[in-house]
Amino acid sequence: MQCRQILVMAALVLVVVARAGQEQWTTNVEKAREKAQAEKKILFLNFTSTDGNPTVAQFNKEILGQEKFYTYARANGVILVDIIMGAKKSKNPAVAKQHAAAVKNYSVKKCPLVIVADSAGKPLGELEYAAGGPEPFLAKLDELVKKAGGK
């Protein structure tokens, strides 16, 4: 019985760790844009997939799932938006329509891909997953945030 309890506790810890920072993400592109304009913040448009793409999984694990990433986003006024491409799971039709429009508007052909945009939604640059953890990714993100006049 103790072994089973340990396994259950380990599973719960993994779920909590996997969700660290999740409260900061939104899938509502329109509300994110409104907030970015009202608060003069940067948009981090994460074009992603829920269909088991191994590169997306690695990106989420190595970079987007790290506390350093969330600390940076909070400190620099970055609004995190997941835009789901090619999802097998159904989602809210209004949000699905926003995602399709964003994919078309930004001419996104693959995922994972991040478009960093200013508060008006104007693209400042693109970021892709590269192995090496959050530090090199955050350095590139910081260049784009500074380009927008961020912190």
Domain covering 23-147 in this structure, CATH number: 3.40.30.10
H/E stretch holding 120 reads none
Please tell me the distance from the alpha carbon of residue 21 to that of residue 52, in angstroms, as a whole number.
21
- If pLDDT is split at 50, 70 and 90, which confidence band does 19 have? very low
Please tell me the distance from the alpha carbon of residue 79 to that of residue 127, in angstroms, as a whole number.
15
Q: Is the pLDDT of residue 13 over 50?
A: no
Sequence-ordered list of residues with C-beta below 8 angstroms from that of 93, at least 6 positions apart, any chain = none
Dig out the tokens for 53 from the structure: 């793409």
**So what's the pLDDT on residue 21?**
54
- What is the biggest distance separating any 2 CA atoms in the chain, rounded to whole angstroms? 57
Task: Write down the domain spans for the chain.
Answer: 23-147
Report the predicted TM-score, pTM, of the whole model to 2 decimal places.
0.82
Positive/negative CA dihedral, 110, 67, 73, 146: negative
Dig out the tokens for 90 from the structure: 């159904």
